[in-house]
Structure 1
Amino acid sequence: MNEAPSQNREPHENDGHETGDRPDGTGPTRRSVLWTAGAAGAGLGIGGLGTGSAAAAGADQASTATAAGAATAPKGRHKTMIGVPFERRSTVRIGLIGLGNRGMGMLPLYLAIPGVRVVAVCDPVKDKAAKAVQLVTAAGQPAPTAYTKGDHDFENLCKRGDLDYVYIATPWDWHFAMAKSALRNGKHAGVECPVAMRLDELWELVDLSERTRRHCMQVENCCYGRNEMRVLRMAHAGRFGSLLHAAGAYNHDLRQLMFDPTYYEGPWRRLWHTRLRGDLYPTHGFGPIANYMDVNRGDRVVRISSFGTPALGLAEYREAHMPPGDPSQRETYIESDRTFSLIQTAKGRVLRLEHDVSTPHPYSRINSLGGTKGVFEDYPERIYIEPDHTDDEWGDFSQYAEWDHWLWKEHANPPGGHGGMDYIMLYRLMQCFHLGLVPDFDVYDAATWSAPVPLSHASIKANGAPQEIPDFTRGLWRKPRQGVDSPKPQE
């Protein structure tokens, strides 16, 4: 069956502002130098720098032990954030940190939602901040304050007393520090993926969210794709029977972009391929299938086993396309070209994750779900469920539009990129603010969806040995509750 992909199947690049080395190629900023020094000295709890040296190997061994040992749930000192609503407010005052590809792509969508005011923007690149200010004023809002005084000016943004929500779209290295600053200053935080790169950081965000009574959320737009939300509703209605397995991925050929000196501001994303072997970007695939399986809402993920191929793709691409004197020639890549992870849930169900940004292939998030009554597979979208299909031929998923989520029925042609799921996600998040509702996802989801980053690395280093996945809810996963499949509110 050769169906054309639906609108929301377009390739997804969700990286935010990319600040690492200077954009003119003259050398690393203080940010990247300090981060690399810290990584080499502490092993980051996730791995060395991939230099092939004995020191790096020792850091890897220590990091594997750290990743496994940190899975044990520390005793909670504060009340859970499960079921905690936002404070109801007619206008949501937001600050944006990171104004690169992702941040500038999301800014117009925030401005398109009624009852949202952009109060502050932050980026060390002044031209980007100036452009953001112009977009805000062109939308008829007062000029936001721009924070551009170096790498840590975001801390001043977070200290403002007139912000409700801080949106973070920066390189992964900075997600944890920025989310922590927002929470400590009494702001709700929405963080692009992953929310953090280490297990100890994930636990600290959970504790901080509980202590400050502020939500820290993984703003995972793929959970709001039209197909994903339709499958979610069908799964919850029992159309797939008892659920057995699911799969998600981020398979996206990024070789050209990772070596492009202008797309990312510095090589920060490529440098992660010198530090880790595991799944660097799990949430696009993991978030939707975790929703299908009610992870943290009646089931939980308990262990992960990961395997990785040799790391060959980036080096071969560099040899073919980069000049001999390019700084990338000094890099040693250890990140597996493709990682495969199997995750088991408390109910015995199995989830599969894949990650591959280093080899040629069409874009795919896989997005499949199977149960005792049938299966859905995406890329291309197709379905086979009983009693609708009995002839051993895939069915037409477009015939199931009646199962569209109410958000997609209300916003059939949403603005923005990625087929409209960016807008749907932000609209719903702001709606929860406006009406004082419990958000569709919380810090426990953020931590769970990001945990495969360090744990897949640890498993690959241990030849696929299972790694315990922390129960970030501290036992509260057993209680069913609503999530992205939320009822339409009465406004």
Structure 2
Amino acid sequence: MKNLDRRKFLKKTSLTAAAIATATAFDSCAQDAPERASNAQYMGGFGAPKLETVRIALIGVGARGSGHARNLAMLEGTEIVAISDLYEDWANRSKTACQEIGAGQRHQNIALYTQDENQWKVMLDEVKPDAVFISTNWSNHAPMAIEAMKKGAHAFVEVPIALTIEEMWAIVDTSETTKKHCMMMENVNYGRDELMYLNMCRQGIVGDLLHAEASYIHELRFQMEEQERGTGSWRTHHYAKRNGNLYPTHGLGPVAQYMNIARTDDTFKKLVSFSTPALGRQDYAKKNYAADHKWNQLDYQGGDLNTSIIKTNLGRTIMVQWDETSPRPYSRLNLVQGTKGTLAGFPTRVALEGGVEGVTDSHHQWAQGKDLQALYDKYDHPLYKRLSESAKGSGHGGMDGIMRYRIVECLRNGWPMDQNVYEGCFWSAVSPLSEASVLQDGMPQEFPDFTRGGWGETAPLGIIS
């Protein structure tokens, strides 16, 4: 539907006046792309000037950011120059860790900016880093990334890249006009299985791709105990106020790259979304906290499980699910189905027409468990083979270390990033679009084209050696 048609439809439905007002706020989701600035550069295959040494500043060094600090400090060609965090003890902890890693040679002059919530801005003005790693609450991602780019730094942002479509357009426009990278750090794209499946898809092992399934199923109710600091102190409020898929990119990023979404072959077109009732968080709060506790004063609106379906420009489908509440095992699904077979995750398994050579007799059987070794031997991604040993212990099975290494490697060599700014926006856009669709009882939402048509000329992500 065009925007005008949707507004007419809403007026004829039984949505309350308040819901209509809220829905109107999402109208920009389907509007035409704003005009590209005259001094802008398309960033699809952009490689910035080489940096012999990457001078790095970090904003936020809690659980996630402190891991970035330590691992980046270990990499050749880096210098940690500044750290900003609301909490001085956290900043000092990361400073000490980086200086110990530098062993008196590197990372010895780290400036700290703490306590005041605007000290990160002072840091950008005074230190002028080459790259900024942002690991803060979601609402700060976009403003911090935009300001970092405006001050001359490449921005590397934890997921999601932003919360609203308007913020995503602002990130795209700023990246294009400043000619600075803004990469959302989707670490799952660097997992062993995800890299292997990308390699297999590029080799045509499962044929033409038809459908994918992605999820972030991760029971995180325990985070509600983080009431003063930590993820639960701010994320719990998102569960109460928002109803949609609030965290789509861990599952979606890899399957989108299998399908070459926003790169030559295809792009996201529309999304529909539905949520279950919101029961689990409320029940958990009642069971674990006093009646007058702040978590029992919230009206939890976010459904326990959200299911969204994306239709691509070519008519392919992607199911995306999110659930951080229900008591069930972890899963990202990680399924991609083609005309010659299916690759799936959790557990890792493969079915190919005619069977997997030397393992199964037909596509009616999964190759899984110990039988997968033959597939790893044949299809392990060359990037994983090169970096897996050095990335051990870096977090999440090594994927974090491979991601950080690649960021620094690309900056030092002037290469394009493995994930461009547009991909970060496309994957993150599922959140506001799903909220709009849920609010409108599953009405389809159109994806903005953050590339302004450039996706058709953007080269697919290659199999990096």
1:75 maps to which of 21, 30, 35: 35
Deviation per residue, 1:16-66 (Å, 9 max, x gap): xxxxxxxxxxxxxxxxxxxxxxxxxxxxxxxxxxxxxxxxx7565333223
* AA at the equivalent of 1:435: N
Partner of 2:367: 395
1:152 maps to which of 118, 137, 154: 118
CA contact (8 A) 2:61 2:85 kept: yes
Does the residue aligned with 2:304 lie in a helix, a strand or coil? coil
Matches within 5 A, 1:85-100: 85-100=47-62
Partner of 2:101: 139
Q: Following the alignment from structure 2 to structure 1, what is the Cα–Cα distance between the partners of residues 228 and 221?
A: 14
Partner of 2:25: 66
* AA at the equivalent of 1:301: F
Partner of 1:405: 381
Q: Is 1:373 aligned to residue 340 of structure 2?
A: yes
Does the residue aligned with 1:159 lie in a helix, a strand or coil? helix
Cα distance change, pair 421–208 in 1 and its aligned pair in 2 (3 A): same
Q: Is 1:227 aligned to residue 186 of structure 2?
A: no
Partner of 1:303: 270
Aligned residues: 432
* AA at the equivalent of 1:106: H
Cα distance change, pair 324–433 in 1 and its aligned pair in 2 (3 A): same
Q: Following the alignment from structure 1 to structure 2, what is the Cα–Cα distance between the partners of residues 191 and 59?
A: 33
Q: Following the alignment from structure 1 to structure 2, what is the Cα–Cα distance between the partners of residues 363 and 262?
A: 26
State the shift of 1:256 in Å: 1.4
Q: Following the alignment from structure 1 to structure 2, what is the Cα–Cα distance between the partners of residues 68 and 370?
A: 33
Partner of 2:83: 121
Q: Following the alignment from structure 1 to structure 2, what is the Cα–Cα distance between the partners of residues 461 and 427?
A: 41
Cα distance change, pair 173–136 in 1 and its aligned pair in 2 (3 A): same
CA contact (8 A) 1:187 1:214 kept: yes
Cα distance change, pair 103–312 in 1 and its aligned pair in 2 (3 A): same
Does the residue aligned with 1:139 lie in a helix, a strand or coil? helix
Does the residue aligned with 1:186 lie in a helix, a strand or coil? coil
Q: Following the alignment from structure 2 to structure 1, what is the Cα–Cα distance between the partners of residues 373 and 121?
A: 47
Does the residue aligned with 2:375 lie in a helix, a strand or coil? helix
Q: Following the alignment from structure 2 to structure 1, what is the Cα–Cα distance between the partners of residues 110 and 455?
A: 40
Partner of 2:464: 487
Structure 1: gaps of 5 or more residues: 1-56
* AA at the equivalent of 2:47: P
Matches within 5 A, 1:37-436: 60-72=19-31, 73-77=33-37, 78-140=40-102, 141-261=107-227, 264=230, 267-298=233-264, 299-387=266-354, 388=356, 389-391=360-362, 392-396=364-368, 397-401=372-376, 402-413=378-389, 414-415=391-392, 416-436=394-414
Partner of 2:12: none
CA contact (8 A) 1:136 1:143 kept: no
Worse overlay, 390-399 or 345-354: 390-399
Partner of 1:36: none
* AA at the equivalent of 2:219: D
Q: Following the alignment from structure 2 to structure 1, what is the Cα–Cα distance between the partners of residues 168 and 396?
A: 27
Task: Give the TM-score normalised by the residue count of structure 2.
Answer: 0.90
Q: CA RMSD in A?
A: 1.6
Q: Following the alignment from structure 1 to structure 2, what is the Cα–Cα distance between the partners of residues 306 and 455?
A: 8
CA contact (8 A) 1:305 1:341 kept: yes
Deviation per residue, 1:257-303 (Å, 9 max, x gap): 22343662662100001221001111101111110110111210010
2:422 maps to which of 439, 444, 452: 444
State the shift of 1:113 in Å: 1.1
Cα distance change, pair 425–79 in 1 and its aligned pair in 2 (3 A): same
State the shift of 1:144 in Å: 0.7
CA contact (8 A) 1:248 1:352 kept: yes
* AA at the equivalent of 1:450: S
Partner of 1:47: none
CA contact (8 A) 1:86 1:439 kept: no
Q: Following the alignment from structure 1 to structure 2, what is the Cα–Cα distance between the partners of residues 124 and 271?
A: 20
State the shift of 1:197 in Å: 0.3
Task: Give the TM-score normalised by the residue count of structure 1.
Answer: 0.85
State the shift of 1:455 in Å: 0.4
Q: Following the alignment from structure 1 to structure 2, what is the Cα–Cα distance between the partners of residues 168 and 123?
A: 10
Matches within 5 A, 1:4-43: none
Cα distance change, pair 380–355 in 1 and its aligned pair in 2 (3 A): same
State the shift of 1:116 in Å: 0.9
Cα distance change, pair 160–398 in 1 and its aligned pair in 2 (3 A): farther
Worse overlay, 198-207 or 320-329: 320-329
